[in-house]
A and B are shown apart, each in its own frame.
Chain A
Amino acid sequence: DQQVKQNSPSLSVQEGRISILNCDYTNSMFDYFLWYKKYPAEGPTFLISISSIKDKNEDGRFTVFLNKSAKHLSLHIVPSQPGDSAVYFCAAHYTNAGKSTFGDGTTLTVKP
């Protein structure tokens, strides 16, 4: 049973436009959510996170939205840049859990 799902394996957007990456989860105990960015043959790097007590967190061009009732979160990138082209992983965690659970990732391609 996959508790964190990223249903879109890939997304292509034009430079300057908005990129929206989606993530759904099933475990209502999750209380902390993270987004990571990964380039090929490298380790992921942390991008942004959100606690379940919030519904929005913003950091520069990146904003994460959390809809707890729908068990859904999304990452918005505005404006998108070609350097944003990478695989984006959503991860979820709950207090006292020893680990985070990752989604399968969405490959974002930003076209110049």
Chain B
Amino acid sequence: DGGITQSPKYLFRKEGQNVTLSCEQNLNHDAMYWYRQDPGQGLRLIYYSQIVNDFQKGDIAEGYSVSREKKESFPLTVTSAQKNPTAFYLCASSPRVGNEQFFGPGTRLTVL
């Protein structure tokens, strides 16, 4: 059945290492998004992509990178330049920009 998946659910990394979070959707959605949620806070947009091979920075893109080589996939790399990478990361997709978004289950990243 259709949906959006993120893996893994929990991820631990040592400080200074890059880490890539996976996001896959089989909903045939054009738009995909990455958000970060910190305790007690809302969703902050990291990057978004309206179409394959195109993406734009969100509000907190520094220290992150993305690619959109396939419609189904939008991986997020958390680089060593990200000062506070420990957070809950959410991926979402929508048929087009502006439609309601469908969210994945999230990945909790802990940097030790």
Using a CB–CB cutoff of 8 Å, the interface residues on chain A facing chain B are: 6, 9, 32, 34, 36, 41-46, 49, 89, 93, 95, 97-100, 102-105
Q: Judging by beta carbons under 8 Å apart, are A98 and B50 in contact?
A: yes
Chain B residues in 8 Å Cβ range of A98: 48, 50, 56, 97
**How many Å from the CB of A36 to the closest CB on chain B?**
8
**How many Å from the CB of A89 to the closest CB on chain B?**
6
Using a CB–CB cutoff of 8 Å, the interface residues on chain B facing chain A are: 4, 33, 35, 40-45, 48, 50, 56, 58, 88, 90, 92, 97-98, 100-106, 108
Assuming A43-B105, A98-B48, is B100 touching A34 (CB within 8 A)? yes
Chain A residues in 8 Å Cβ range of B42: 6, 89, 102-105
Q: Judging by beta carbons under 8 Å apart, are A43 and B48 in contact?
A: no
Say what secondary structure dominates the interface of chain B: strand
**How many Å from the CB of B23 to the closest CB on chain A?**
11
27 example contacts (A-B, Cβ-Cβ < 8 A) are as follows: A6-B42, A9-B40, A32-B98, A36-B101, A36-B103, A41-B88, A43-B4, A43-B90, A43-B92, A44-B90, A44-B101, A46-B101, A49-B100, A89-B43, A93-B98, A97-B98, A98-B50, A99-B33, A99-B48, A99-B56, A99-B97, A100-B98, A100-B101, A102-B35, A102-B43, A102-B45, A104-B42
